[in-house]
């Protein structure tokens, strides 16, 4: 086996390990009280149930969010920046598009996303490795 093959094999093993760790985390998380598991693989916990309107996929929403890896490392947080983010709901990762359409304005949920609902096999920034499962606390402030 040449150096290129060894490096490629090591990369594939790391990708598989990241995927396996995330799927194991999600399998355990699904057993917790209060965690809802949808057919897509999306998991969520309702922290605060808002009673406002629910957005559609083509709406622009304003949210506060706090994103972590399954080991707790923060990779992005509008909360830490002190400024909410606004974006078209159909222009974000599919787990957000799915979850936020279920949330009424004023809701705060914790989302648990398997890789296929997050960034899949793509690297996203410095901390999010390919095949990463992600956790977000999302508060829907407005549509």
115 token code pair: 């890789």
Residue 53 lies in domain: 3-142
Known catalytic residue: 4?
no
* Catalytic residue, candidates 46, 59, 70, 75: 75
In angstroms and rounded to an integer, the radius of gyration of the C-alpha atoms of the chain is: 16
Q: Is there a catalytic annotation at residue 76? A: yes
pLDDT at 135: 98
Looking at residue 23, its pLDDT comes to: 95
What sections of the chain are H helices per DSSP?
Answer: 3-29, 78-81, 94-100
Looking at residue 43, the DSSP 8-state letter turns out to be E
Tell me if 42 sits within 8 A of 111, measured CB to CB. Answer: yes
Q: Going residue by residue through the chain (143 aa), what tens digit of pLDDT does each one get?
A: 788 888 888 888 888 999 999 999 999 999 999 999 999 999 999 999 999 999 999 999 999 999 999 999 999 999 999 999 999 999 999 999 999 999 999 999 999 999 999 999 999 989 999 999 999 999 999 99
**93, 112, 128, 135: the active-site residue:** 93
Count of structural domains within the chain:
1
- Considering the candidates 65, 112, 128, 135, report the single residue annotated as catalytic: 65
pLDDT, position 86: 97
Active site residue 93: yes
| CATH number, residue 28 | 3.10.50.40
């Amino acid at each position: 086996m040449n150096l290129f093959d060894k490096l490629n094999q090591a990369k594939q093993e790391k990708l598989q390990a990241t995927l396996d760790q995330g799927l194991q985390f999600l399998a355990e998380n699904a057993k917790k009280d209060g965690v809802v598991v949808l057919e897509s693989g999306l998991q969520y916990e309702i922290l605060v149930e808002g009673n406002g309107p629910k957005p559609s996929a083509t709406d622009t929403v304003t949210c506060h969010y706090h994103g972590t890896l399954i080991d707790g490392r923060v990779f992005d947080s509008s909360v830490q920046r002190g400024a909410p983010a606004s974006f078209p709901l159909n222009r974000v990762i599919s787990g957000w598009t799915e979850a936020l359409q279920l949330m009424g304005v004023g809701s705060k949920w914790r989302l648990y996303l398997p890789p296929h609902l997050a960034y899949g096999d793509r690297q996203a920034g410095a901390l999010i490795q390919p095949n990463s499962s992600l956790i977000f606390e999302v508060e829907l402030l407005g549509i």
